[in-house]
Amino acid sequence: METKEEVRTPVSQQPYTVDVTEEVDGIGSKVSIEINDKKISVPLGMTILEACRENQIHIPTLCHHPDLCIAGTCRICVVELEGMHTLQTACSFPITSPLKLHTSTPMVRKARRHIVDLLLSEHYGECYSCVRNNNCELQSLAKEYGVDQYTFGHVTEPTFERDNSSPSVVRDMSKCVMCKRCVRTCIDLQEVGVLEAIDRGDQTHISTFQEKPLADVICINCGQCINRCPTGALHANDPSDDIWNAIDDTQKHVIIQTAPSPRAAIGEMFGQEPGTSYTGELNTALRRVGFDKVFDTNFTADLTIMEEGTELLLRLYKALVEKDGSMALPQFTSCSPGWVKYLEHFYPEYIDNLSSAKSPQQMFGTLIKTFYAKESGIDPKDIVTVALMPCAAKKFECNRPEMNDSGYKDVDYGLTTRELGQMIREAGIHLPEMSQSHFDQPFGDASGAGLIFGATGGVMEAAIRTVAELVTGVKAEDLFDNARVTPVRGFEGIRYLEIPIADVGPVPEILKDLIPDFEWLKGAVLKVAVAHGTANAKKIMEDIKAGGKFSECHFIEFMACPGGCLGGGGQPIPTNEEIRNKRANAIYTEEESLPVRKSHENENVTTLYDKFLTEGPCGHLSHKLLHTHYTKRGKYIA
């Protein structure tokens, strides 16, 4: 075992680590084993599953997920070990001594077939009427084991009511296979802890606190459970029927804004390898589907940087120069609605630290129904705003009661990458074959800084490029190699960076009315941090509570989902570290090819401030339209 403090999951759920190093064979040494009569040598402590996979021997799995700790409960991965009278699960069995194993004996095949048959006997529904048709691990297992009948029967009525109380996550427990991947996601990966197994024996099922509907518990809507559900038991609350209706309604002007990370992932829904962006193709496909306008959420990401960056400078100025003790620092980013709700539940005392800037999605909704409606002469009541997001929580966010500053519901529908992929398919379009096209005016194509919002650390990098350049007067490209702020990139759970400000420049035009000079920042060290996944967010929050190093930070980026938006709960299934890495590569590669890579250099943004938000960032109109407030929810449920 690692240090005891780190053990937060039940020990049974921990991957086994070898703790006896005194033996002749220490960590790092090899063990010779035989798999299916073939001799191989594997690192001490490796599991049988890992050893088989490394040697191209297929072992079926169901409850196993590379992001999660080991459960060993579905039993589908059983193998035969010579000398042991029961079968052993490959996923959980650590190789610590020489052994001989067989992965396809009559006993093994029969057991696996029985397990699939048993799961099918309790699994309600037919594949053709399921969201996960063709992307379901139970279905694949049934195929792999040649199931052609329901040996142990099959339920014909749903065994549970569907819980569709949440705007984000729908639970359909009649399709649950009890792999508990959602439970492990919620408890271990996200440390939220909304889902758990309750009751015993054949009554065992996954539920919430007091079996309350998901909308009434402290679910943060991140949807990470959906991404890890092997079946259709968990899925997002899908608005596509309503969107089709709007598209088909000639009275309605239907606008879709597309977030950065779905572009880097949607190809996966069309059989493409992870890691290719389909930005231009997607634009064309969306018009073919019937959207009247396609806008780039990166535009409002750039706008977010202007608003949130200015807010940060103002907070710092008031705190450091005007000695205003009420200024909450560090400032926390607010663009991840899962993170926002997490904070509202778990650390409500810190809501003043959240940037009041709305998320890019919500800023766009407001702007479309105000600025764009006026510019284009369309009555905002006839505009339907759809947001393509990698996210389940965005659905909750657009339904927050306060999100109607335009006088209408700012964003009508949050649509996930998966749901849009399905709409595109339904329209008879094969995305990768589309020609490329640009985003629509007046917002146009945005900057690279907006694009990297899709990866963890991206908001911070975009903010640093802009704030550092505005404050020092030195080009971000000269401050950082090719404007890459590499220390905030990557998938390390928590990243920390100190940026010394050696010299300051003159206050740029756009901030003149707010801050007289930057002299007070001369010689200062800007301290920032990045966390992704709420388990990491929790670590930072606990550190801040204890007055640790993160309490001295000025600005912290939090993303609810592991990997940031590219690993969001609305992204194509499956997800794992390798896939998230490839999506990140796609984003960073595309970013470097863009002509503009800093938010404040996005001309459409400056035009917006010239023409519409004339008082500049954090001005009155900005405050009315682009900023918001939060709710102290707490974690105690009535």
Partner 1 sequence: MEILKESKTIRTGPVLFSHYTRGEGVKKAIQLSREDILLEVKESKLKGRGGAGFPAATKWMIAAAAQSDEKYIICNADEGEPGTFKDRVLLMEYPELIFEGMVIAGYTIGASKGIVYLRGEYEYMLASLEDYLYVMRQDNLLGKNILGKDDFNFDISIRLGSGAYVCGEETALIESLEGNRGEARNRPPYPANTGFNGNPTVVNNVETLASIPHILIKGGEWYSKRGTDKSTGSKLFSVSGDCEKPGVYELPWGTSISELLSMVGAENAKAVQVGGASGICIPKGQFNRKLGYEDLPTGGSIMVFGENRDMLAVLKNFMEFFTEESCGQCTPCRIGNVKLLEGVEMIEKGNYTFKYINTLKELGQTMQLASKCGLGQSSPNSFISILDNFKDEIFHSNRSNGRSNGRRKN
Residues binding partner 1 (CB under 8 A): 1, 4, 7, 10-12, 16, 19-20, 22, 70-76, 78, 86-87, 89, 92-94, 96, 107, 110-111, 114-115, 118-119, 121-122, 151-153, 177-178, 180, 196-197, 199-204
Query: CA 284 to CA 263: how far, in whole Å?
Result: 12
Tell me, yes or no, if 63 is annotated catalytic. Answer: no
Q: Are 462 and 303 in contact (CB under 8 A)?
A: no
Tell me, yes or no, if 166 is annotated catalytic. Answer: no
Cα–Cα distances (Å) from 519 to 308, 515, 603, in that order, read: 21, 11, 28
Q: Are 538 and 191 in contact (CB under 8 A)?
A: yes
Q: Are 420 and 393 in contact (CB under 8 A)?
A: no
Residue 57 three-state SS: coil
Q: How many CB atoms lie within 10 A of CB 518?
A: 22
> Which CB sits closer to partner 1, 81 or 471?
81
Query: CA 225 to CA 230: how far, in whole Å?
Result: 10
Task: Give one word for 8, left, alpha or beta, with left for phi > 0 and alpha for psi -120 to 50.
Answer: alpha
Tell me, yes or no, if 435 is annotated catalytic. Answer: no
> Which CB sits closer to partner 1, 92 or 359?
92
Query: CA 120 to CA 124: how far, in whole Å?
Result: 8
Q: How far is the CB of 400 from partner 1 (least distance, A)?
A: 35
Q: Are 51 and 58 in contact (CB under 8 A)?
A: no
> Which CB sits closer to partner 1, 144 or 477?
144
Cα–Cα distances (Å) from 557 to 328, 335, 363, 497, 577, in that order, read: 15, 9, 18, 12, 20
Tell me, yes or no, if 82 is annotated catalytic. Answer: no
> Which CB sits closer to partner 1, 75 or 252?
75
- Give me the catalytic one of 402, 577, 592, 615: 402
Tell me the helix, strand and coil percentages in the chain, rounded to 5: 40, 15, 45
Q: How far is the CB of 105 from partner 1 (least distance, A)?
A: 11
Q: How far is the CB of 18 from partner 1 (least distance, A)?
A: 9
Residue bearing tokens 């069309």: 270
- Give me the catalytic one of 268, 281, 307, 397: 397
Q: How far is the CB of 75 from partner 1 (least distance, A)?
A: 5
Q: How many CB atoms lie within 10 A of CB 117?
A: 18
Q: Are 121 and 113 in contact (CB under 8 A)?
A: no
- Give me the catalytic one of 219, 225, 561, 565: 565
> Which CB sits closer to partner 1, 77 or 526?
77
> Which CB sits closer to partner 1, 45 or 338?
45
Q: How far is the CB of 107 from partner 1 (least distance, A)?
A: 6
- Give me the catalytic one of 358, 394, 395, 582: 394
Of residues 422, 419, 63, the one with CA closest to residue 235? 419
Tell me, yes or no, if 335 is annotated catalytic. Answer: yes
Tell me, yes or no, if 565 is annotated catalytic. Answer: yes
Beta bridge partners of 32: 41
- Give me the catalytic one of 166, 355, 359, 622: 355
Beta bridge partners of 207: 196
Query: CA 476 to CA 482: how far, in whole Å?
Result: 8
Radius of gyration of the chain (CA): 26
Q: In the β-sheet with 88-89, what is the strand arrangement from edge to edge?
A: 38-43, 30-35, 100-102, 78-81, 88-89
Residue spans of alpha helices (H) in 558-602: 577-592
**Contact residues for 536 (Cβ-Cβ < 8 A; gap 6+):** 493, 494
Q: Which residues of 255-285 are buried (b: 16+ CB within 10 A; e: fewer)?
A: bbbbbbbbbbbbbbbbeeebbbbbbbbbbbb
> Which CB sits closer to partner 1, 89 or 304?
89
> Which CB sits closer to partner 1, 102 or 252?
102
Q: How far is the CB of 10 from partner 1 (least distance, A)?
A: 5
> Which CB sits closer to partner 1, 178 or 521?
178
Q: How far is the CB of 280 from partner 1 (least distance, A)?
A: 46
Q: How far is the CB of 189 from partner 1 (least distance, A)?
A: 18
> Which CB sits closer to partner 1, 8 or 522?
8
Q: How many CB atoms lie within 10 A of CB 377?
A: 6
Q: How far is the CB of 115 from partner 1 (least distance, A)?
A: 5
Q: How far is the CB of 72 from partner 1 (least distance, A)?
A: 4
Phi, psi of 608 (to 5 degrees): -60, -40
> Which CB sits closer to partner 1, 200 or 323?
200
Of residues 628, 606, 596, the one with CA closest to residue 511? 606
Q: 385: part of which helix (H) or strand (E)?
A: strand 383-389
Q: How far is the CB of 106 from partner 1 (least distance, A)?
A: 11
Tell me, yes or no, if 308 is annotated catalytic. Answer: yes
Q: Are 563 and 593 in contact (CB under 8 A)?
A: no
- Give me the catalytic one of 307, 308, 344, 469: 308
Tell me, yes or no, if 22 is annotated catalytic. Answer: no
Residues classed as catalytic: 308, 311, 335, 355, 394, 397, 402, 565
